[in-house]
Chains A and B, each alone.
Chain A
């Protein structure tokens, strides 16, 4: 039905959606993480070691990858508590770089030579995880608990005084975001069947942030859109591959000047929803 090229593209999209969600979730509490490639790396190596060295089934390995990454995400959240804005992002940057740097010297996983031996994963499996975690995130967003997340982003001080333990909220979103990135990493490792530390650099973290900034940072559909468009764009722009990153950069600059909340904003979605409602009323 799909060519292998198209399947590869679909797989990429699925993985990138999860990555976009990982940044989105953390950003929902007002924290911009520039180091999610690090969580991705941790998940990638964890899952790979488990399937290759310990012969665990992929599903289990991915769950483990998510858990391990979330643990690190939780830890990474602590320094973030004491810092604001740019300093918070800087500490996430530092963490991300640290993890990549760690794997560069970690002999057990091959250090700079990388790790391989993974069995390739099917696009369908990737999408099962993407859809599953996507739905989970969607439901979480609609829960009472998420009101706390929004409160932290809107006015952390007021939230605290109203009785919200903002520390728990901020750490939790870091943990959850890291888990998403970890699972994405595990899937990625089994998609490329070879991983090495240079795949998980700052540039990768930036790309993931781009999905959210571009697609929309206010709703869950934003990173989904961003991941889809920015994964497909290089294929459409084949003829200018050399300029691809520059184009993304220019897009980012222009976007931030004119529409910093990204393409899909809450207002936009509300307008679409009300338009649909009006249409339905017309037709009935």
Chain B
């Protein structure tokens, strides 16, 4: 039973990791918290579902969800981030809150407020490893999360574009002087973030075989918590913090009651912000007040 809970926690954690990555990319590179990642997540799920309903193969549906997420994010870049990038970071944050409201309203009006089921033939058998049960989808989710983290890490460290992103993160002015097109970088950052969120939404939907328009709101803020706890500037931090929080949450639900999940999650967030605001694997100077 305990082991099953642990496994469930890790599964949940993988979802959190992917969402946290969506937040981390924009936050770490551009210094902005894009609250609307949560709604992008939901949108990806619904678009993916719409594709699956017309018999599109699952991998294509995931690509569709990624594209949908990317589009939503790029819109935010154009109208929420770009006009405000020289303003204090709370301004773009407020703008993303505006986008979150808009996107959520659109989702609820287009697709209604009721949960939707996934076509049942998608669901593969469950595997039993000892006393623990995992479904094929869950294995998919965990592996794809790890792949995404590795791919992102490689992208940022080894590729030209990735290094461009990091250059802009460190010093936009210097990057511009070096000829790095920061406008393109910004768009790409938001696009990748959106794609991650969209794909994550669809994967979650596949995992629970149902989605609701409110799924993003629940998971979203917890994704922020994972990002902070893991360390905003560090991708591996999200990989560590995701399962950590997932397990904590599942344990809280199992041993204290479902209503205690939020207390545990936000309690951890506050403790980290109090004691080590740069997170488990982050770097201190970007966060702490300089005196």
Contacts and interface: CB of A to CB of B under 8 A. Distances in A.
- A and B co-occur in one complex: yes
Interface of A: 32, 78-79, 81-87, 89-91, 93-95, 97-98, 100-102, 104-105, 111-112, 157, 160, 202, 206, 209, 213, 242-253, 256-257, 260
B93 interface: yes
A71 to B, nearest CB: 17
Closest 8 CB pairs of A and B: A249-B101, A246-B105, A252-B98, A101-B262, A249-B102, A253-B98, A249-B98, A94-B269
B99 A253 contact: yes
A81 B273 contact: no
Interface stretch (B115-123, B160-168, B178-186, B221-229): B221-229
A32 B84 CA distance: 16
Contacts of B257: 105
A102 B269 CA distance: 14
Contacts of A160: 291
A129 to B, nearest CB: 28
Nearest to A202: B221
Interface in B180-228: 217, 221, 224-225, 228
B105 A260 contact: no
B291 to A, nearest CB: 8
A253 B97 CA distance: 8
A257 B217 CA distance: 25
B272 to A, nearest CB: 9
Contact of A105 (B260, B274, B291): B260
B95 interface: yes
Q: Is the interface of A mostly helix, strand, loop or mixed?
A: helix
A126 B84 CA distance: 38
Contacts of B90: 32, 85-86, 89
Nearest to A206: B97
Contacts of A79: 270, 273-274
B29 interface: no
A83 B277 contact: yes
Contacts of A86: 27, 31-33, 89-90, 93
Residue of A93, A102, A209 with highest tally of chain B CB at under 10 A? A93
Contact of B106 (A90, A202, A246, A251): A246
B170 interface: no
Contacts of B217: 202
Contacts of A112: 259
Interface in B83-115: 83-84, 87-91, 93-95, 97-106, 108-109
A102 B265 CA distance: 12
